[in-house]
Amino acid sequence: MAQQNPDLSELTFEQALGALEDVVRRLESGDVPLDESIDLYERGETLRKHCQERLNSAQARIEKIVQGAGGTAAGTEALDADG
DSSP states of 9-73 as a string?
Answer: GGS-HHHHHHHHHHHHHHHHHS-S-HHHHHHHHHHHHHHHHHHHHHHHHHHHHHHTPEE-GGG-E
The pLDDT of residue 61 is 82
pTM: 0.70
The pLDDT of residue 59 is 86
Query: What is the C-alpha to C-alpha distance for residues 73 and 20, in angstroms, rounded to an integer?
Result: 34
The pLDDT of residue 3 is 41
The pLDDT of residue 1 is 39
The domain limits of the chain are: 8-75
Low-confidence ranges of the chain (pLDDT < 50): 1-3, 83
The Cα angle at residue 70 between residues 67 and 71, in degrees rounded to 5 = 35
What's the CATH number for 8-75?
1.10.287
